[in-house]
Amino acid sequence: MNSGEILFVKCVKDGIPNRDPLNESDARRLFGEDDGRISLSDVSIKRDVRDFVLARYPDGGKNQRNFVFCRQERTEDGKLLGRQKLAEGILDIVKRKASKNKRDDLMASTFDMRVFGAVYSVGKESFNQTGPVQFGWAHSLHPAETKYVQGTVVMPGKDIKVDDAGEQQGNKQGTIWTTYTLPFAVFAMPAVVNANIAEDTGMDKDDVDLLLEALWKGTQHRQARGRGMQQPLLMMHVEYKDPFFRIGYLEDFVTVKPGREAWTGGTPPTNLSEVELDVSGLEEIIAKNKKKIAHVRYWVHPGLKMSGSLPGERNELD
């Protein structure tokens, strides 16, 4: 497989895809107060990918090679399993429980270890492996304002009890919830794929295809109210002939219209039909580096308006 880069653009409605626990679960804001953009960590995007693969291949798929190591699993009495048990669970299914080389066996059986790498620290069996695929932070392509909203829950937090005097004790009313939410935003996220590291982990072309599918469909199928309704808009995979070449920062070559004034004004865009993605910068940079590029393929959401045209092969996901 080739080294390459991925550019992934998605939008979200009525929710924050990745919250900041240090700021009362508001959106993550890495840029200054004048900038106004918000950000999503690579960790949150990898979670979407893993969840998709886990749901798609609960039995590990063909050749039992697509298990997911980094997952939440509980014992019968509800306790969360630790790294060792999670790994043993997989090795047990692939009949390599007595394995002497856990690293290689886990790499061969788990999609996320092959693709994202792993830090495995269990007693003497510790190892860490950098992943061939590294996602960057996703930033919104425009300033985005979050709203603080509150609502009520009909259920009281505690049951009502009747004391000895016959009086009702405890809350008689439901509780109030509060949260930050984001009406609408478009994010761009970069990723790099390193062919040399892929050799170490055993990642192959099929893994890249599954990763791209998971990125798209995992985002689409993300089910959590607070994370909002997400929609992948554009995904581009650029493969290079030279494993040591990279254009870099592909996300900087796409912009969203309307510009910042509209987003900071009184009526910012609130849905996909009000925005347009300008990819002419991307078109130009790819044309410029044509000789070093082996292959370009991309996927576009039908509802996305684009200015500029992308080179390469346009694909459809089933």
Partner 1 sequence: MVEGGISPGEILRQVSDVAAVNAKGFLANVFVVEINLLEAEVKIEALPVQEWGEYQLQSPESKKEVFVQDVDRAMGTPFVIPSGNPLKPQGRYGIPSYLVYDKHFQAFTKEAEEVKKYLYGRLNRTIAVELTEAQIDEIANKLHEITSKVYKETKLLGLIVLAVLEKDGPFQLHETMPLGDSSRSYLGPSVMHKGKHLVADLELVKERFWEAKLAEGAEMGEREGGEVVCYFCGHEDRVVSSYCKAWRWFTPTWKCPLPVSMKPEELVETIALCPACYGALTYGANLFNKLTKPLDYWLTKELFSPSASAAGKEMSRRGNPESVAGCAYALPILDNFLEDEDDRLGFIDGVRTMLGRKPRGNKMDVHLGDLTGFEMFLPQEMDADEYRLTIMYYSGDAGRGDIHLRATVEDVMPSVARQLKEITGNISDFAVDLAASLQYEVSEKYQGFLKRRYSSLPYLLTTAYGAPYTWKMLSTVMHRGNISRRPFLSNVSGRMNELSRKLPDGFHELRSEVVFYLSFSEFLKKYSDAVALETGNGGYEWMRDWREFQGMVAEGPMNEIVINDPEELGFAAGHLVRLFARQYWHASNGNDFLKHRVMTFGSSLTPDVIWKRALSRMDEYARKLNMKISDDLRQRFAVVLMEYSRLKNETHKERDAFMAAFWAGYALAK
- Distance CA(249)–CA(263), nearest Å, equals 24
User: Site size for partner 1, by CB under 8 A?
Assistant: 28
Is the Cβ of residue 126 or residue 273 nearer to partner 1 in the bound state?
126
Pick the closer one to partner 1 by CB: 52 or 184. Answer: 184
**Binding track, positions 85-124, relative to partner 1; x by CB under 8 A:** ----------------------------------xxx---
**Contact pattern for partner 1 over residues 13 through 42, marking x by CB under 8 A:** -------x-xxx-xx-x--xxx-x------
Please select the residue that binds partner 1; options are 73, 145, 209, 242, rule is CB under 8 A: 145
Q: Does 171 bind partner 1 (CB under 8 A)?
A: no
Taking CB under 8 A as the rule, does residue 150 contact partner 1? yes
Q: Interface residues for partner 1 in 249-288 (CB under 8 A)?
A: 261, 264-266
User: Which residue's CB is nearer to partner 1, number 25 or number 307?
Assistant: 25
- What does the per-residue mask of binding to partner 1 show for 215-254, with x meaning CB under 8 A? ----------------------------------------
Specify the stretch interacting with partner 1 by CB under 8 A; choose among 140-148, 195-203, 297-305, 308-316.
Answer: 140-148
Q: Identify which of residues 60 and 117 has a Cβ nearer to partner 1 in the complex.
A: 117
**Residue 148 interacts with partner 1 (CB under 8 A)?**
yes
